[in-house]
Structures are given as structure tokens and as C-alpha cells.
Amino acid sequence: MEYNLGILISGNGSNMLNIIEATKKKLIKSKVATVISNNPMALGIKRASEKGVDVKIINQNQYSNIFDFENSLSNYLLKKKVDLICLAGFMKVLSKDFVKKWNNKIINIHPSLLPAFKGLNTHERAIRKKVKFSGCTVHFVNKNIDSGKIIDQELVRVLKSDDAGSLQKKILMKEHKLYIRVLKYLETKNE
């Protein structure tokens, strides 16, 4: 199955760029219909534009409530005929109503081996706990933070010499491979 992907970002968009590149190189069949940022200052906006992808800024600060923000987001995704939403560094928790509306059509990449280290500051927490392994997880988004059904994971060895920064770099490299592998899997699973 070929998906029309909607990628949601808030920052640099390295996973977003990776997905765009994979579509251009035909590593996956899906197409990127749009990249949406809730942060008008996100570097990823410029990066996506340079790749010729439709970019939309839906600034959450211009809405008086989450309902109006998510309504605008949902309407734009529908307008672009998006059938799979990829969260790629989207730093906003989506409401239960939004997740229900897009049930099993939102995936997220998280920089830990879920269920360990849900939420923020995963690398710092992993280093503090002196774990031997960390990694990343792609999962379906449900109403609870980082708690949806796990699709796949990638393992990273944590060395004694690692700090949060070096661990983040190692995991990000694995994230890029994992996201594409998961998209390929979903395409073939739903043919």
C-alpha cells in the first residue's frame, strides 16, 4: 500500500528529511503529501521547502484552545488526503479526541526502548540509570504518552564513555533506519 504521508515536526526535522529522501530514492512507495510544523521557527520548515515538499505552519500559539488547533490540523491533513501521520520530533501531545479521529493512522518515533523512559529527557535519564542498552521505538500513537502498540525497535549499546549528547547521536542514526524499515513494513502489511 502506498501511503500519503503527513509529517508533523517542531524542530530540525532530521527524521522528516530522511523520510523525504526515502520517497525520492524509491526506498518506500509512499509519498510525502505535506509537512506541518506547529513551530514557525522550526529549521525543518526550510529544509522541507528546499526538497519541494508542501509545507504548512499551523502555529498552536495562534489558537485559543487545543480543539481549534487540532481541528485546523486535522482539516489540513484531510485536504492533503493524508492517510498516515508520521510524528518526527513533534513536541506537542495530541488530545484523545484527535488520536481517536485518526485511530491507528498516527505513528511516532521515540528515542528509547519503550516502555522504558517515556516522555522527555530520555538520554539523560538512560545515562543516569547506567543502562547498558538504549535505542529507539516506532509505535502507534494512542491516548497515553509513548504507550501505543510498538511496531519495531532498534537497539544501541550504551558505553561507559557515553554522555547524553553522544548517546543521542548514536540513537538518531538508528532512528533514520528504523523509521524507513517501519514504513516499508506497513506498506507491505497493508497491501
14-24 helix and 43-50 helix, angle to the nearest 10 degrees: 10
CA dist., res. 188 & res. 186, Å (int): 6
Residue among 71, 69, 43, 70 at smallest CA distance from 55: 43
Provide the annotated active-site residues. 110
- Summarize pLDDT for 20-52 with one digit per residue, the tens: 999 999 999 999 999 999 999 999 999 999 999
pLDDT at 174: 97
C-alpha cell at 89: 520530533
- Summarize pLDDT for 125-181 with one digit per residue, the tens: 999 999 999 999 999 999 999 999 999 999 999 999 999 999 999 999 999 999 999
CA dist., res. 95 & res. 144, Å (int): 9
All domains in the chain, ordered by first residue: 4-189 (3.40.50.170)
Confidence of residue 1 (pLDDT cuts 50, 70, 90): confident
